[in-house]
Structure 1
Amino acid sequence: MARTWSVLVVDDDFRVAGIHSDIVEAAPGFRVQGSVRTIAEAREVLAANPPDLMLVDVYLPDGDGIELVRGVGVDAFILSAADEAATVRRALHAGALGYLVKPFQRQVLSERLDRYARFRHVLTGTRGLRQEKIDQALSILYGQTASTAISRSSTEQLLLDALAQGELSAAEAAERTGVSRATAQRRLATMAGQGVVQVRLRYGTSGRPEHLYSKLA
């Protein structure tokens, strides 16, 4: 079953908080754990049940949202009308994974949430990570093209790692690894020709059959 990521919205403007909460609820794989107006309320939630991600304004009635992010050890995006370079730098130094200047289009936050989910998918498990895995996660989070972050052989290894979890289509493999669908299709076809992976066809009710790939033992 796919993981659902919990989000705490921290904003003293109830209208803005409601908009952000609606965007989170509409994003696949996300749910709003709660919405609070102050740092004190946020700390109560964090102490009882920390979320996976926080969306935090800078200026809150009882303090500085950036300092909240700095001290709690929870992933966070800063969402603020403050656009000063010093404020942005301070947020990044505090550990914020992203900074969105209000107002922004709904799609902007939706895309950041999608990147975050794929970023967390790559950084799962308790085993040590290869450098290309770390590079891949960062390239996903910051919207870089995956092909610029990892070499072809590393791309193939990432696809094989995804297939180790079960049979996948090229589109599913691309989503799990953060590479483009075209790249996944091309590299999987190459590895199938090399006998590294096997392919079977899945026939639907209409259209072309879908190719499904699995890793050979």
Structure 2
Amino acid sequence: MSTPIRVLVVDDDFRVAGLHRDVVAGRPGFVALDPVHTLGAARQAVRAHTPDLLLVDAFLPDGDGVDFVASVDVDAFVLSAATDAATVRRALRVGALVYLTKPFEARTLADRLDRYARMRNVLGGDRPLEQEQIDRSLSILHGGAEPATASRSATEQLILDGLGDEEASAAEVADRVGISRATAQRHLAALAARGQVEVRLRYGSTGRPEHRYVVARR
């Protein structure tokens, strides 16, 4: 099981901070730390809890949230009511992965969190990355389609690597590799048709059996 992604919300509005924390807590694979409401508290929380991701308001009572993002070596989203181009450019320039303008729907933040998790899966580990993986990770985060340069064989090899020696469902493979479930299902079906993976059925107490995949041994 992968390590949960620890998220710290930094927002001076207690109600908004609580709403954002609840969105984080509702996403599989994430852990919401207690929100903080000032930059001073945020610095202490970063030292004490080493979060993986920050959700930071651009303007806080004791300083500038964008400057704070620039000062810490932590992935960050900037969530702000500021819509002026200068603030947006400054946030992106210092490394904010996402800029969301308030107010936004909970599902919008949930979608960005899910994309971030998938991006981390693609960029995880210590192995050198292929250009296709780098391009795909950026496309995942920002909502684009898979890059046209990503060949079917490259994606299928990623899926085979993601399966390894274990049996897994299409959803599990998608999470490991950082692609959508539909894409994983399509490629797994093609691999099964060519005999490169085997399909097994797992029967539960009710409902349809789950399809499980494992690399074929020859």
Give TM-score, length-normalised by structure 2: 0.91
Counterparts in 2 of 1:126-165, with a 5 A limit?
126-146=126-146, 148=148, 150-164=150-164
Cα distance in 2 between the residues matched to 1:165 and 1:9: 38
Cα distance in 2 between the residues matched to 1:182 and 1:11: 36
Corresponding residue SS for 1:55: strand
1:97 corresponds to 2:94: no
Cα distance in 2 between the residues matched to 1:18 and 1:69: 20
Structure 1: segments with no counterpart, 5+ residues:
none
CA contact (8 A) 1:139 1:149 kept: no
Cα distance in 2 between the residues matched to 1:8 and 1:44: 11
Count of aligned pairs between the two proteins: 217
1:42 corresponds to 2:42: yes
Cα distance in 2 between the residues matched to 1:182 and 1:43: 40
Displacement of 1:31 in angstroms is: 1.7
Corresponding residue SS for 2:104: coil
CA contact (8 A) 2:135 2:147 kept: no
**Which deviates further from its counterpart, 62-71 or 161-170?**
161-170
CA separation of 1:182 and 1:120: change in aligned 2, threshold 3 A: closer
Displacement of 1:80 in angstroms is: 0.3
Q: State the match for 1:84 in structure 2.
A: 84
CA distances 1:26-85 after superposition (whole Å, capped 9, x unpaired): 122212223112111111122223200000011111111001001101000000000011
Q: State the match for 1:200 in structure 2.
A: 200
Corresponding residue SS for 2:83: coil
Cα distance in 2 between the residues matched to 1:57 and 1:203: 47
CA distances 1:77-108 after superposition (whole Å, capped 9, x unpaired): 00000001111111000000000000001111
**Which deviates further from its counterpart, 81-90 or 176-185?**
176-185
Give TM-score, length-normalised by structure 1: 0.91
CA distances 1:99-158 after superposition (whole Å, capped 9, x unpaired): 000000111111111111111122211221222222222121111222646221111112
CA separation of 1:165 and 1:25: change in aligned 2, threshold 3 A: farther
CA contact (8 A) 1:146 1:178 kept: no
Q: State the match for 1:60 in structure 2.
A: 60
Aligned-residue CA RMSD (Å): 1.9
Displacement of 1:213 in angstroms is: 1.2
**Which deviates further from its counterpart, 23-32 or 201-210?**
201-210
Displacement of 1:165 in angstroms is: 5.7
Q: State the match for 1:28 in structure 2.
A: 28
Paired residue type of 1:119: M
CA contact (8 A) 2:168 2:214 kept: yes
Corresponding residue SS for 1:166: coil
Cα distance in 2 between the residues matched to 1:57 and 1:165: 44
CA separation of 1:45 and 1:20: change in aligned 2, threshold 3 A: same
